[in-house]
Structure 1
Amino acid sequence: MRRVLLTGAGGMLGSAILRLSRDVSPDLELVPITRAECDLEDQQQVQHLFEKEKVDGVIHAAAVVGGIQANIDEPEVFLASNLRINTNVISAARSNGVGEFLFIGSSCMYPKDYRNPLKEEYLLQAPLEATNEGYALSKIVGAKQCEYISQKTNYAYRTIIPSNLYGIGDDFSESKSHLVASVIRKVIEAKNSNQRKINIWGDGLARREFLFADDLAFVCLNAFGNLKDIPVYMNFGAGIDHSVNEYYQIVSDIMGYSGEFCHDLAKPAGMKQKLMDSSLAYALGYKPRTTLVEGLKKTIEHYQKSIAS
């Protein structure tokens, strides 16, 4: 039985990893860490955590996250807080002899409006999208630290770069929700209040690739123990993208909502497209298992139950 520290255990991805671990990887003993157990921005607390738990590996899914507006308003927070978290956790893992480390990156690490689909070698080839530059930089630095450790040691420190995620346990709040969670909340609110119009930021033509979080959790659990067999950087996404307008329409169809969509062209829309090339992962047998409609139905059902309770 291998002991694996799981940071961000209370988040969408972390909770999915915990939920699936017993069936997918019964040989892993996960040590779930949330903010209540340890302040990952505190170097001493993190060092004490590793000395106490004596784990064999780490799945690092913790991060300070937010939507477009939050990233625009507080770039220094997203940069500095995540830099501290990532540096503390990665450095403590190395100094305590942890041999396997899985760092969860982000598609925002890739350059703004660069070539699509985005390949791993495109990292740092052009400027980043300004609306989430702080967060993106923190992820790049963390991934680079893992790369450097792998180069200097026989440790397997790897970075999986997922497309945008959605799913059970997503953050549906107005200030922190990402696109799919925001769409679901707005459509449900509009339907429940008989609102005939929904406001969309931008023209709705920007395209985004979204992956059901359970599918990424499945990959993380299956890859662990064999991290030396995957590339230092590995994309993993759904393999198909949709426009913002299409996400609104798909969720509306599922919910039976027939109102109108209005576009606020004064609001930021972010990058035009962020479709990733996941061929390296697919070639190793790591492929999505959930269709968009299936994942949305599960997410909507879970969210409706949470607001009804």
Structure 2
Amino acid sequence: MKLFLSGGSGMVGRNILEHPDAGQHTILAPRRAELDLLDENAVHDFLASHKPDIVIHAAGTVGGIQANMAAPVRFLSDNLKMGMNVLLGARRAEIPKLLNIGSSCMYPRAATNPLREETILCGELEPTNEGYALAKITCARLCEYINKEAPSFLYKTIIPCNLYGRYDNFDPQKSHMIPAVVRKISEAVEAKADMVDIWGTGEARREFMYAGDLADFVFAAIARFSDLPQNLNVGLGHDHSILDYYRTIAKVLGFSGKFVHDLSKPQGMNQKLVDITGLEAFGWKATTSLESGIAQTYNFYKNGNTQ
């Protein structure tokens, strides 16, 4: 098939492009200089001209708690504009299939874990990333509305748990938890430091999946697109505490010092674990262990990939 992939230079996009199954398709993944996703007319014209069989919307302005709190306007406006332009551009160009990649940030902060797809919009969002979440929710709802108005247009949303891996962002001002900790502990090892700080108590729990596994699911979904539910969680079905992640990263990187908790820093939701009942029914399962994923992520980082 001919695929249009937005966000091909991001972590998710680049993992999709390097997946073994990518070679079976023609994938159009223009960089920002070639196609500005914030330009509504440019997006529509590109899609109308190239007429892909399916659109995969993986683009986004992303970051961890610190980045979200520092720039909520950008996280809301950029993600909303890009999503609207891609989804409505695809609809106007009569592209029959679209896979929208959402986020577990879409779930209410007080929702019962594991988080079920039907609980979206059933409560207040986590304040530290509310802008990003609102944009993602709007795009998921737009997919539903497009399909409701015209059932032949299969516009569906997958909701991954937290992701990490190759092509992640290791900038401490912008990164998510795992790449930030990989960098922090790597620098501690190099400096022969005996202490690393942890934001919060370390008791908050998170579900992190290796981005290469999400790419694997994307190709499984493409092959059986009609079987895919309207909204589907993609995750592991189990989580770890923040402290557990620190310990695993320390073990992989060879750090033997101690951890000190900075209780003045925010730690977000106490738990964010997605329900994978629908994913299990679909028949797919992630295969990368946490230790293996951390090792691959660290190898990517230490080879100078510190964007």
- Residues 1:246 and 2:248 are matched in the alignment: no
- After superposition, the C-alpha distances for 1:200-246 in whole angstroms (9 at most, x for unaligned) are 11111110000000111011112114322111000010221111111
Question: Which has the larger displacement, 37-46 or 271-280?
Answer: 37-46
SS in 1 for 2:303: helix
Give the corresponding residue for 1:205. 203
CA contact (8 A) 1:187 1:198 kept: yes
> Aligned ranges for residues 189-204 of structure 1 at < 5 Å?
189-204=187-202
Report the CA distance between 1:70 and its aligned residue.
1.4
Report the CA distance between 1:13 and its aligned residue.
0.7
SS in 2 for 1:286: coil
CA contact (8 A) 1:184 1:300 kept: yes
- After superposition, the C-alpha distances for 1:72-126 in whole angstroms (9 at most, x for unaligned) are 1211111111111000000000000100100000000000032010011111111
- Summarize the Cα distance change of 1:307–1:165 in structure 2 as closer, same or farther, 3 Å threshold: closer
Name structure 1 gaps, 5 residues minimum.
Answer: none
Give the corresponding residue for 1:267. 265
SS in 2 for 1:6: strand
Report the CA distance between 1:307 and its aligned residue.
5.2
- For 1:229 and 1:54, the matched residues in 2 are separated by 23
Give the corresponding residue for 2:90. 93
- For 2:68 and 2:109, the matched residues in 1 are separated by 15
Question: Which has the larger displacement, 128-137 or 51-60?
Answer: 51-60
- After superposition, the C-alpha distances for 1:233-283 in whole angstroms (9 at most, x for unaligned) are 000102211111111100001111111111111111000000111111111
The counterpart of 1:39, out of the listed 31, 36, 41, is: 36
* Percentage of matched positions with identical amino acids: 44
Please report the RMSD computed on the Cα atoms of aligned residues, expressed in angstroms: 1.2
Give the residue type in structure 2 aligned to 1:275: L
Give the residue type in structure 2 aligned to 1:83: L
SS in 2 for 1:222: helix
The counterpart of 1:226, out of the listed 224, 227, 232, is: 224
Report the CA distance between 1:25 and its aligned residue.
5.1
- Residues 1:9 and 2:4 are matched in the alignment: no
Report the CA distance between 1:52 and its aligned residue.
2.5
Question: Which has the larger displacement, 69-78 or 269-278?
Answer: 69-78
- After superposition, the C-alpha distances for 1:160-214 in whole angstroms (9 at most, x for unaligned) are 0000000000000011110111110000010001121111111111100000001
The counterpart of 1:144, out of the listed 141, 144, 152, is: 141
CA contact (8 A) 2:16 2:22 kept: no
CA contact (8 A) 1:113 1:272 kept: no
- Residues 1:58 and 2:55 are matched in the alignment: yes
- Residues 1:123 and 2:108 are matched in the alignment: no
Give the residue type in structure 2 aligned to 1:52: S
- After superposition, the C-alpha distances for 1:274-294 in whole angstroms (9 at most, x for unaligned) are 011111111111110111111
The counterpart of 1:30, out of the listed 27, 49, 59, is: 27
- For 1:213 and 1:307, the matched residues in 2 are separated by 16
Number of aligned residue pairs: give it: 305
CA contact (8 A) 2:167 2:305 kept: no
- Residues 1:235 and 2:248 are matched in the alignment: no
